[in-house]
Structure 1
Amino acid sequence: MSTPMTIPDHSIPAIPDEQDSRINSLRYGLRLHGVSTIDHVLWLPSTTSTNDVAKAMSGSSALVISNQQQAGRGQAGRIWQSPTGNLYLSLRWTLQHPVSGRLALEVALALVNMPILAHHAGLQIKWPNDLYFNGAKWGGILIEPLHDNQVVIGVGLNLQPMQAQVTDQPVTDLTAITGQALDVAELAVQTTLALIHACQQFDHGSLELPTRFAAFDALLQQQVVVHSPAQTDLHGTIIGIQPDGALLLNTLNGTKVIYSGQVRAV
């Protein structure tokens, strides 16, 4: 288990009343679950990227939330559309071991198992870091290693319907999935707890990761193409993952082990 943490009052800047209420609810919710020590906690009206803010902060742990991002990003530098009304959250954390691909999968698994989702049928994970519900995307993960086993885990979750002009793929949101209006502060609490739990799972070796991931694998046994700048496109059928989180692709030339790349169903 991770060491308990304190959230010092001097780390909280002057913010509007609504956000002051949210950060107080966040602090209270975390303490109710035994999390009382994060070096810095910020809830911002807007920022460029919560990951960038978390990376720039001192200390071994930090939690940064923003109502909006002006320069949010996803994997491979892709733009992450970040309009007001969703949750943009980054956790800076110190792991016991150097970060590897297992961590993104542990984070995804922890998020689809949040109590707020109550194990809804149809929740899916697209390797390695996208969250889906019945084929529509509702969230994504960006993990950026720092140094000395430190990592920043960024999460963007759709809390309400996205406008058509900000996306080029089917999307959904947590309000539609759960059928109820969700409180963003409560979602922030559950998301933070999920990320901490994922880090603990990672530090304990990610036991039975292939089995746990298979239950949510959006592309298992599907024909896909894997694109990577370092090699030619690979075509095949996804047959699962390795214990280290690598994707297993059955091709005409045998089983290929994929550690990075963009996967698309065909």
Structure 2
Amino acid sequence: MSSVCHSSRQGESASARPPFVWRLGEVVSSLDAAFLLALRGRLIVWDSLLAASQTAGRGQLRRRWASPPGNIYAALRLPPAPPFDGTAASPLMGLLLALALREEGWPVELKWPNDLVLRVMGGMPRKVAGILLEERGGILLAGIGVNVNNAPPATALRKESALEAASLAQTASAPGLTLPPAELLWERLVKHMHSSYTNGLSQPGQWKTHAEQLLLWRGREVELHDERQSAHGRLVGLSTTGGLCLRVNGKLEEFLSGSLRLTEASVKG
């Protein structure tokens, strides 16, 4: 494995320098490549790897993630400490990425637990980014995919997919908003995320408040489905453990996993 941009010295502490970015060409998986770097002591906390493309990228439930050149396919090493050591890790990571993209001019929202969406095409939300957390031997990584220049067509998505996809390039028409190359954009996003985390968003009360402000469909009637259960209720917010809080038949309930979508009544309304 070789880097075309940056390298890191073994044993160097995360506080000694800004986060490093390794930039590679085509890889099998940015997560797999990053784990190898971390095991060799070359990827410390807040360092990341950015690949030009992937031949076997993966998303939730190990579903294949299409990875053509022009997008962000990154793996970011996270601190194995609260709140990243529990179920709050996914929505917190989603919040950090959402705030970073908003700093760059894209008003994304957080679709619980780990997707980011933009409202395009008449206000309909479309997925522009996804996050997959993996832990191996005490090494915690966030696999991050952002549709910068390309997005999969509706025909390539799963039939049960709640939202269609879009790219940042499709929404870069606002005055003064320009789309940098994926490599440059990722370096900016990492700096934003690291800054947000170190400036208070690692605290449960802080990240929860900010995440709820960006939470897609808050106050709407939604459906939550997973392999074991389904629920219908009003989306109230988040718990400090990262769970989704729904009011179901007048009772507030917390859910830690599932696929979220609007109910048919909410869509028509």
Q: Please give the alpha-carbon distance, in whole angstroms, between the structure 2 residues aligned to 1:228 and 1:163.
A: 24
Cα distance, 1:50 vs. partner?
A: 0.7
Residue in 2 that maps onto 1:256: 253
Q: Would the alpha carbon gap of residues 209 and 63 (structure 1) be closer, same or farther in structure 2, given more than 3 Å must change? A: closer
CA distance in 2, matches of 1:72, 1:79: 6
Distance 1:209 1:157, change over 3 A: same
Consecutive unaligned residues in structure 2, runs of 5 or more: 9-14, 120-124, 264-269
Deviation per CA, 1:5-61, whole angstroms, max 9, x where unpaired?
Answer: xxxxxxx826xxxxx4xx36x99xxxxxx97366x8532221121111112332262
What are the within-5 Å matches in structure 2 for residues 115-194 of structure 1?
A: 117-121=103-107, 123-134=108-119, 135-148=125-138, 150-164=139-153, 166-167=156-157, 169-179=163-173, 180-194=178-192
What CA distance in whole angstroms lies between the structure 1 residues aligned with 2:112 and 2:79?
24
Query: 1:64 maps to which residue?
Result: 49
5 Å-filtered alignment, 1:55-134, equals: 55-57=35-37, 58=39, 59=41, 61=44, 62-97=47-82, 99-114=85-100, 117-121=103-107, 123-134=108-119
Task: Tell me which moved more, 172-181 or 244-253.
Answer: 172-181
- The AA in structure 2 aligned to 1:81 is A
Quote the residue 1:3 is aligned against. Answer: none
% same residue: 22
The structure-2 alpha-carbon separation of the partners of 1:201 and 1:104, relative to structure 1 and needing over 3 Å to count, comes to farther
TM-score (norm 2): 0.76
Where do 5+ consecutive residues of structure 1 fail to align?
Answer: 1-11, 15-19, 28-33
What is the count of residue pairs matched by the alignment? 237
Residue by residue, what CA displacement relative to the aligned partner does 1:101-131 show, whole Å, maximum 9, x if unpaired? 222222222222226744544x211001000
Q: For the Cα contact (< 8 Å) 2:224–2:259, is it kept in 1?
A: yes
CA contact (8 A) 1:102 1:202 kept: no
Q: CA-atom RMSD, angstroms? A: 2.9
2:17 alignment partner AA:
S
- 1:238 corresponds to: 235
**CA pair 195-146 structure 1, distance change in 2 beyond 3 A:** farther
**Secondary structure, in 3 states, of the residue corresponding to 1:176?**
helix
